[in-house]
Structure 1
């Protein structure tokens, strides 16, 4: 959840690290810190500040101790152990202030280790679990930093992405990883270490992803890892990870949703065959023909995409499918066999609970497939096969275009599995044809942004919202509610429309708006009945309806229209106004859109 940047080389100084760290601030922004070696003074200097990176940058500038061509490490924190203050911020050091490190993850046995180290004479300054690591490394240090790190990590239970420097061994930087993403950026006469490729993209597009239990020893001219690893090319550019002329990353990414659809379908549709080509599944295609049950596992927003995928796969591909949340799936002892395949969905490919469920399925011998946006991520390396969503870099904490990419990918999988089985050619052709139209239809929805902004301003002072939908749009109700609560801090809940009378109606009054997702689909008439129930209780109603539906204007207070498409694809269009509504509501309330409180982009701890 936190962000790590490290550097060793001949050219840069800590100011470059600050700029790299800014590109990771979406991963955590409670506090930030830096440690850097100054070869003139033969010492490591430490600065830590609660709050945003601007506070850290100002303190570093005021120190007048910056020097070029020396190793440094930086960290932006999302608190898990210890309060949000300067002391608990990273980097952490040992008793002698000779060893400094930054850490992502959780040390599960830190209390036990801390008590043992205190008895041995070590003095702790913070409540953060990470400080245990610096004292453990101090305990084992005898002139060789990587050996001390190796011995210290043998005592640790938990997860870590780690970068360590020492003034007693200043010519190197040591990095290590276990269940927390970490990569190396390779450039001439310099090597970077980071928890996310966006931190290194302005300096190099050549990266190496560390695997679990690997330790990397970095020097300006070379590096060493316990086993040889391939260098991967980052496919996106630094410009794609910038806001450009947009006020927020979230708005930029919503406006990029049509491109996300185009990227997800590009080169994959075979119209004449009513089929799709998914190269990432070619190695397991024969085995997939024998699969008779699918499990979809995801967390957060991705779980709503999975729920939609469940409906698609069962109705159109005819495969029994169930969905589970990663944090629950791993504890319920799922029953699987050789004809079951599990599909794991994660934007980052680093979601801790999803990865834990993936590893459990691998232990059971179940085929594991992945849907992710991140090439080279842990999930993409550990699954048997998978499909990339190709959504491009997503910086805002609240996921939008990556969610759209997941929905499109699940629709592609529906055609893929369906045409392997009993889906008729004409149906496959129809779905493929409608998929090809979606980018332009999505652009048409986005043209209503000014009207959606007006609606958001109208309801911004309401404190509670229901979002309701049926069938394919029930998961979109949950997604819309999640987005609103994430960035506006208003109470919002997504409910299946048919569940209103089972309790939710008790809360409806003139101050409790309901957003009703009501396209002209197979359940439209039943949704209209729900609208009547709300209207009878004087509840304000915002409807998302299909173009040409004039009837609904007489039943609701406000309408947002979406173009007509195949029923299974309506969520891809109906969710766009929900994303815009959440965004404009949060803007009207003056909230921090891209960095909502208490949240981080990638949930890499359990």
Structure 2
């Protein structure tokens, strides 16, 4: 969830590299930031940290001279409140060791009581325990051994950068569960929790495996396992374009990413349906065909895409599908069928709850597929198969284009396996065109201003529209902070209609002609109780006074189109309230803690 960046090299200003890297990772979500730099004139390390945005650290360090070594961090609070003392970096008892850390150390209190009970602590974090442990062990060990012996005691997840202030030429690195990548160029070595931070500073990179330890200086990187055995490092070229993460003419990344969705659909088509290479391997198709049930595991927006994927697979492939919340499945696994197949859906490919699921599934010997936007991610590497979303960098915390890409990939996969397939390329193109037509003519800001005036709201729909309602509700609540729920339209009257009062917004999604009148009837029930209603529907199903009418598309792919107006309703509701749309409070882009 947090961001880590470190740099060591003589040809770049390490402070600048780290701060620019942290700015690129602001989309991950955080509440405080900090950096340590080596002051070459004083031959000492200085720490600058505070709660708030990275820009505060930029301002604090504007007069700091060029430095060759630096590590920095953006923190999303897990242990302790959002305070300057709890911000990273943290240091050991005599301040010899300085560290930044992503992850959660589950046994930190136990370690504190056993090894560090006589020491004073200045923060409430589990991270400070790591720093002090390293120093305790360094009293009778060299630095590498002190760090490795500390790592062997840690239970939980960590991405860790360590500086020994007695050695200004080295950054020590360790990783377990939390993501970490190392990049290199002729000018130095950059370490980060996300590949995005390496762009512009490294030509090639490698992702650290779990339970590894790295010693990095400006021209050499050596990796070891925790038995001190050196491991082979294999680099690959960085293929991210720095300009793809620019905001361009848009006011916010979220708005830019909403408008990118037609091009994302076409990119998915190009990579899966027009390229000569076979991305969906026959082995994957056979594994799914031969399974007796497919289990989709995901969280948040990815889970909502999974529900649509369930409908597509069941309809086109005729195999039953269950969708499960990853955090529940990891520790409360249901009774499984004899020959299950598992699909894990994650934008980042680093979702901690899904990693816990994957470990359990692999231990049982079942086959897995990851659908992700990051082909170098842990879930992509560790699953038996992976399918890439090709959505490009998604910077806004609230996912939009990755959701569209997830459904597109599900549709292509289901259609590939189906006995009676449809012209999926043509149908996806129709969706892309329909989204473009809507975006060119939409006036959602007026609807948001006039009708989203209360602190609670409801989305309703039936069938696939119900799944879209869940995603629409999540978008509105996460960036506008309006309490929003998605309901199956027929279920609202079984209790929850008690919450409908004068001017309560109720938004109905109608894309299926067989149940369109049922949903309209349910909406009338709320209207009779004073609700402020909005209808989002298709051209062939429209009534005279419907507020949002979209071009007709294949009913199975309608969720890709129907969700777009709801994304914009969320955006303009948040804009109306003057909120931080791309970085909503308390949220993170990549949820790497359980």
- By how many angstroms is 1:123 displaced? 2.2
Range 539-548 or range 339-348, more displaced: 539-548
SS of 1:310 mapped into structure 2: helix
Please name the residue that 1:221 is paired with: 219
Query: Does the CA contact (< 8 Å) of 1:305 and 1:403 recur in 2?
Result: yes
Query: Does the CA contact (< 8 Å) of 2:45 and 2:165 recur in 1?
Result: yes
- By how many angstroms is 1:437 displaced? 2.2
> Quick check: 1:155 aligned with 2:159?
no
SS of 1:158 mapped into structure 2: coil
Please name the residue that 2:441 is paired with: 448
Query: Does the CA contact (< 8 Å) of 2:506 and 2:523 recur in 1?
Result: no
Q: 1:93-172 alignment to 2 at 5 Å?
A: 93-119=91-117, 121-141=118-138, 144-172=142-170
SS of 1:253 mapped into structure 2: helix
Query: Does the CA contact (< 8 Å) of 1:144 and 1:169 recur in 2?
Result: no
Q: Aligned partners of 1:552 and 1:464: how far apart in 2?
A: 27
> Quick check: 1:195 aligned with 2:196?
no
Mark the runs of 5 or more structure 1 residues left unpaired by the alignment. Answer: none
Please name the residue that 1:492 is paired with: 484
Report the CA distance shift for 1:283/1:549 in structure 2 as closer, same or farther (over 3 A): closer
> Quick check: 1:417 aligned with 2:410?
no
Please name the residue that 1:480 is paired with: 472
Please name the residue that 2:52 is paired with: 51
> Quick check: 1:578 aligned with 2:566?
yes
Q: Aligned partners of 2:487 and 2:203: how far apart in 1?
A: 44
Query: Does the CA contact (< 8 Å) of 1:232 and 1:376 recur in 2?
Result: no
Range 476-485 or range 453-462, more displaced: 453-462
Q: Aligned partners of 2:569 and 2:148: how far apart in 1?
A: 50
Query: Does the CA contact (< 8 Å) of 1:73 and 1:163 recur in 2?
Result: yes
Please name the residue that 2:236 is paired with: 232
- By how many angstroms is 1:145 displaced? 2.9
**Deviations, residues 389-416 of structure 1 (Å, cap 9, x unaligned):** 1100001110110111111111112112
- By how many angstroms is 1:338 displaced? 5.7
Please name the residue that 2:32 is paired with: 31
Task: Name which of 420, 432, 435 aligns with 1:439.
Answer: 432
> Quick check: 1:604 aligned with 2:592?
yes
CA RMSD of aligned residues (A): 1.8
- By how many angstroms is 1:385 displaced? 0.4
- By how many angstroms is 1:528 displaced? 1.8
Q: Aligned partners of 1:190 and 1:144: how far apart in 2?
A: 25
Report the CA distance shift for 1:139/1:118 in structure 2 as closer, same or farther (over 3 A): closer
Task: Name which of 257, 264, 270 aligns with 1:266.
Answer: 270
Q: Aligned partners of 2:512 and 2:449: how far apart in 1?
A: 27
Q: Aligned partners of 1:391 and 1:104: how far apart in 2?
A: 26
Please name the residue that 2:294 is paired with: 294
Query: Does the CA contact (< 8 Å) of 1:206 and 1:234 recur in 2?
Result: yes
Q: Aligned partners of 1:492 and 1:122: how far apart in 2?
A: 47
- By how many angstroms is 1:282 displaced? 4.1
Range 261-270 or range 564-573, more displaced: 261-270
Q: Aligned partners of 1:283 and 1:38: how far apart in 2?
A: 56
Q: Aligned partners of 2:113 and 2:48: how far apart in 1?
A: 27
Q: 1:142-541 alignment to 2 at 5 Å?
A: 144-226=142-224, 227-269=231-273, 279-336=279-336, 339-418=339-418, 423-424=419-420, 428-449=421-442, 451-541=443-533
Q: Aligned partners of 1:389 and 1:508: how far apart in 2?
A: 39
Please name the residue that 1:21 is paired with: 22
Q: Aligned partners of 1:521 and 1:205: how far apart in 2?
A: 53
SS of 1:95 mapped into structure 2: coil
SS of 1:574 mapped into structure 2: helix
Task: Name which of 544, 551, 555 aligns with 1:563.
Answer: 551
Report the CA distance shift for 1:552/1:345 in structure 2 as closer, same or farther (over 3 A): farther
Please name the residue that 1:587 is paired with: 575
Q: Aligned partners of 1:228 and 1:468: how far apart in 2?
A: 54
Q: Aligned partners of 1:500 and 1:349: how far apart in 2?
A: 35
Q: Aligned partners of 1:278 and 1:459: how far apart in 2?
A: 48
**Deviations, residues 239-260 of structure 1 (Å, cap 9, x unaligned):** 0111112111111111111111
Q: Aligned partners of 1:229 and 1:197: how far apart in 2?
A: 17
Please name the residue that 2:228 is paired with: none
SS of 2:287 mapped into structure 1: helix
- By how many angstroms is 1:215 displaced? 1.1
Report the CA distance shift for 1:540/1:11 in structure 2 as closer, same or farther (over 3 A): same
SS of 2:234 mapped into structure 1: coil
Q: Aligned partners of 1:155 and 1:170: how far apart in 2?
A: 26
**Deviations, residues 185-223 of structure 1 (Å, cap 9, x unaligned):** 111130100001111112224111011101111110110
The normalised TM-score by structure 2 is 0.95
Query: Does the CA contact (< 8 Å) of 2:415 and 2:422 recur in 1?
Result: no
- By how many angstroms is 1:551 displaced? 2.0
Q: Aligned partners of 2:285 and 2:234: how far apart in 1?
A: 25
Q: Aligned partners of 1:143 and 1:57: how far apart in 2?
A: 36
- By how many angstroms is 1:386 displaced? 1.7
- By how many angstroms is 1:550 displaced? 4.3
- By how many angstroms is 1:460 displaced? 3.7
**Deviations, residues 356-410 of structure 1 (Å, cap 9, x unaligned):** 1111111111101110000210000000002101100001110110111111111
Task: Name which of 65, 79, 82 aligns with 1:81.
Answer: 79
Q: Aligned partners of 1:240 and 1:585: how far apart in 2?
A: 26
- By how many angstroms is 1:320 displaced? 0.7
Query: Does the CA contact (< 8 Å) of 1:179 and 1:212 recur in 2?
Result: yes
Q: Aligned partners of 2:578 and 2:347: how far apart in 1?
A: 27
**Deviations, residues 520-570 of structure 1 (Å, cap 9, x unaligned):** 4332122122122222223111111112544251xxxx5111111111100
Please name the residue that 2:227 is paired with: none
Residues paired across the two proteins, number: 586
Query: Does the CA contact (< 8 Å) of 1:103 and 1:163 recur in 2?
Result: yes
Report the CA distance shift for 1:567/1:205 in structure 2 as closer, same or farther (over 3 A): farther
